[in-house]
Chains A and B, each alone.
Chain A
């Protein structure tokens, strides 16, 4: 039941859900500048998320890490150079966000946001190389092809795409954390 085909589809659907959350949040933030209705809705959404940002961010980092380990340790897809760089950014987030969620340390965004930004840039560049391999090396190696995707679910969701979606959602949750912390500080 949980073979490679199923699991890569599962992680791809989660990536698309993460994309929907990030794009929805950006649109909401934009709409809140011009519309009272959007503004009220975004405030109520922030209130609903208050206290859950760290736990959700930890969940995203944990699922991303488990997904990455599934690909390499269960399915035996050998990580390429850029995959490793993304792992370097994502794996510490599990520990840091987990500890922060446990200790309720709302200042952790100072450390985690840069990691998410760096990881997001690397995964974005990796995905770019997969879409436009002519910008990387002129060949595809057998086992660790950074410029060739192991799979493209729905024709476009590859492993770095999933990683980028995870980093983007963590960054969004860190932004929410900052906003709700400011709200608490103001009140």
Chain B
């Protein structure tokens, strides 16, 4: 029995070569022309992060939250004075995080982050159903804003979700996020009435845990 192995056998140029080349390069050319034509419009957004007043941060920055922190005391920022921030929201209204004797829950979110997209409506639902916890201020920080990423702009997203707490617009360098030691979103920082860090958590927090933490801070 003999077998024929076609290794390295040259393929003939067929009569149909021209249509294959025409179809392939025609499709690429059509895609390119369509891309140029369809991308000609502007984003339509008249708000730019660059035009907003940059937040002013005072106080020492907190160390980055280490991974796998299971005990509050294991966080190197535990008990440290939190930075104070004076900034604006996306309408230009002043928003501040200061040591004013009121505990704070600070929630860092990025518009393109899927976890933040889930966290924002969950927290808003909790606020709508409970009214929050009296004696604790909840402030959001919109960070890592990028027009090239999905769900831009953040102000439209937050408005769509019916977000009610005040929002500080972080700058392009994410200085507020860095000052609080965040390296991923969502990121929560809880500050006690004395202005010291009580608790930081990376990732989403469920409504029951949020309520519990805020009640502890308010006590």
Interface residues of A (CB under 8 A from B): 1, 3-7, 9-10, 13-14, 17, 47-52, 56, 59, 63, 75, 103-107, 130, 133-134, 138-142, 145, 147-152, 181, 184-185
A1 to B45, CA, bound (A): 20
A104 close to B28 (CB less than 8 A): no
Known contacts A9-B35, A13-B31, A17-B31, A142 near B150 by CB under 8 Å: no
A142 close to B174 (CB less than 8 A): yes
Q: For the complex formed, measure the closest distance between the CB of A53 and the CB atoms of chain B, giving whole angstroms.
A: 9
A140 close to B110 (CB less than 8 A): yes
Known contacts A13-B31, A107-B6, A134 near B11 by CB under 8 Å: no
B17 close to A148 (CB less than 8 A): no
Q: For the complex formed, measure the closest distance between the CB of A90 and the CB atoms of chain B, giving whole angstroms.
A: 18
B115 close to A50 (CB less than 8 A): no
A103 close to B203 (CB less than 8 A): no
**B13: which A residues are within 8 A, CB to CB?**
51
B148 close to A181 (CB less than 8 A): no
B150 close to A139 (CB less than 8 A): no
A151 close to B31 (CB less than 8 A): no
**Interface size (B, Cβ < 8 Å)?**
44
**A149: which B residues are within 8 A, CB to CB?**
112, 149-150
Q: Which of B84-92, B97-105, B129-137, B180-188 contacts A (4 or more CB under 8 A)?
A: B180-188
Q: For the complex formed, measure the closest distance between the CB of B49 and the CB atoms of chain A, giving whole angstroms.
A: 15
Contacting A104 at CB < 8 Å: which of B10, B150, B185?
Answer: B10
* Closest A residue by C-beta to B23: A48
**B38: which A residues are within 8 A, CB to CB?**
9
Q: Can you sample 17 A-B contacts with CB below 8 Å?
A: A9-B38, A10-B31, A10-B35, A47-B16, A56-B24, A75-B148, A104-B8, A105-B7, A105-B8, A130-B114, A134-B115, A134-B118, A138-B203, A138-B204, A139-B185, A142-B184, A150-B149
* B56 at the binding interface (Cβ < 8 Å): no
**A51: which B residues are within 8 A, CB to CB?**
11-14, 17
* Closest A residue by C-beta to B177: A142
Known contacts A1-B36, A9-B35, A151-B148, A52 near B20 by CB under 8 Å: yes
A103 close to B184 (CB less than 8 A): no
Interface residues of B (CB under 8 A from A): 4, 6-14, 16-17, 19-20, 24, 27-28, 31-32, 34-36, 38-39, 110, 112-116, 118, 144, 148-150, 174, 183-187, 202-204
**A59: which B residues are within 8 A, CB to CB?**
24
**A13: which B residues are within 8 A, CB to CB?**
31, 34-35
Known contacts A5-B39, A48-B19, A50-B14, A141 near B6 by CB under 8 Å: no
* Closest A residue by C-beta to B4: A185
Q: For the complex formed, measure the closest distance between the CB of A179 and the CB atoms of chain B, giving whole angstroms.
A: 13
A75 to B147, CA, bound (A): 13
A106 close to B31 (CB less than 8 A): no
* Closest B residue by C-beta to A10: B35
